[in-house]
A and B are shown apart, each in its own frame.
Chain A
Amino acid sequence: AQTVTQSQPEMSVQEAETVTLSCTYDTSESNYYLFWYKQPPSRQMILVIRQEAYKQQNATENRFSVNFQKAAKSFSLKISDSQLGDTAMYFCAFMKAEKLVFGKGTKLTVNP
């Protein structure tokens, strides 16, 4: 069974600084997708970034980038130039066969 582990329940960062959120996963599959979702207090699930496992190049979306280490089964999210609006829960997720498996989340607070 696939599992996703986020070892940091809470993190904080100063506005304009950089923060990295950790995620590891366990699977025997060779082809899959990995995601980071943001959940602000509004509860809306917002896709931040997506990575296909067969692509070696790390995905990037504006201030958000990932460090994907397939052999280590690690998928960390880096947020550059943190903004107050980045304050939210962040969930790492693994997809195979139409199902997303989520980690328990990291609560990120951006301080002014």
Chain B
Amino acid sequence: NAGVMQNPRHLVRRRGQEARLRCSPMKGHSHVYWYRQLPEEGLKFMVYLQKENIIDESGMPKERFSAEFPKEGPSILRIQQVVRGDSAAYFCASSPGRTSTNEKLFFGSGTQLSVL
């Protein structure tokens, strides 16, 4: 059973371009979470999705950021018109059910986004 797969591992974008980060959860997992890690910081929650639904996006910036988890295919975190402050490591995590019910969370290796 492969772990949580994130790609690309590194992504370089120029200011104003779009960044698309992909996350394939573990097999059988229908809950996906996105976190962002700025340099020298811990991870910060961005969004929680189940298949085809956004459950909690309280950590997402109001503009330029969006996330989806379609019925088929990976979850996508999309950042439009990137700025230098978006440079960070973006982590995806998945679980088979709600983590508040004692389900374990599994993290991917992250995508390092660098904005030039």
In Å, the complex CA distance between A103 and B43 comes to 8
Smallest Cβ-Cβ distance to B43: which chain A residue: A102
Chain B interfacial residues counted at CB < 8 A? 26
Q: Check B35–A42 contact: CB distance below 8 A.
A: no
User: Cβ of A45 and Cβ of B91 under 8 Å apart?
Assistant: yes
With both beta carbons as reference points, the residue of chain A lying nearest to B107 in the complex is identified as A45
Question: Given A91-B43, A105-B42: A98 and B48 within 8 A (CB)?
Answer: yes
Look across to chain A and name the residue whose beta carbon is closest to the beta carbon of B44.
A102
Q: How far is the CA of A95 from the CA of B55 in the complex (A)?
A: 16
User: Chain A, 26-52, contact with B by CB distance < 8 Å: what is the 0/1 string?
Assistant: 000000010000000011111100101
Given A98-B55, A104-B40, A104-B41: A43 and B89 interface contact (C-beta under 8 Å): yes
Q: Does A101 contact B (CB under 8 A)?
A: yes
B100 in the interface, Cβ–Cβ < 8 Å?
yes
Q: Is B105 an interface residue (CB 8 A)?
A: yes
**Which residue of chain A is the closest to B48 with respect to CB atoms?**
A98
The verdict on B104 contacting chain A, using a C-beta distance below 8 Å, is: yes
- Determine if B42 and A91 form an interchain contact, defined as CB atoms under 8 angstroms apart: yes
A4 to B55, alpha carbons, bound, how many Å? Answer: 24
Interface: B33 (CB within 8 A): yes
Q: List 19 A-B contacts (CB under 8 A).
A: A43-B112, A44-B107, A44-B110, A45-B91, A45-B93, A45-B110, A46-B107, A50-B104, A95-B99, A95-B100, A96-B100, A98-B48, A98-B55, A98-B98, A98-B99, A99-B48, A100-B35, A102-B43, A104-B41
